[in-house]
Amino acid sequence: LRSKADRDAVRQGLKEGILDVISTDHAPHTAEEKAGGFVSAPFGIVGLETAAALGYTELVLGGVLTLNGLVEKMSVNPAKVLGIDRGDISVGKAADVVIFDPGTVEDRATFADPLVPPAGIAHVILGGRPALRDGLVMDDRLGRSVRRE
């Protein structure tokens, strides 16, 4: 969002509950792709790790949302909008969990190697199995498509 007025309007919409979801295109572009200049660089930010770190820094520490509010807008509400059975931790539900450690947030807009630990993301559990533990990829073949119910 280019103008301060646009950014302020989005912050206000999030704070007032007018905007229900925060999402990204989760496109893991390389540093070389993003360095191509504003017009030729691919759209979007790197993905969840950048969105989580930015959301925490700009929205939680900035007083716009609580940490629970950020999680709701990045996990619970998108699952509701998409009609998929995700976004909460309950008995019998799929154990797809991202554990975010705000103490590890780094000022990093891109990363060249997709296996480099993402900023702020400490652990990832997919289908009840660890995919990332303490920044180390445990199994990069656990991802799968999720269909609407």
* Ramachandran quadrant class, 44 (left: phi over 0; alpha: psi -120 to 50; beta: rest): left
Phi/psi at 100 (5° precision):
-100, 130
Residue type at position 120: G
Q: How far apart are CA 124 and CA 133, in angstroms?
A: 7
Q: Is 25 noted as a catalytic residue in this protein?
A: yes
Residue 125 CB partners (closer than 8 Å, separation 6+):
95, 96, 97, 98, 99, 131
Residue among 25, 85, 139, 140 flagged as catalytic: 25
d(CA 132, CA 73) in angstroms, rounded, equals 23
Catalytic residues: 25
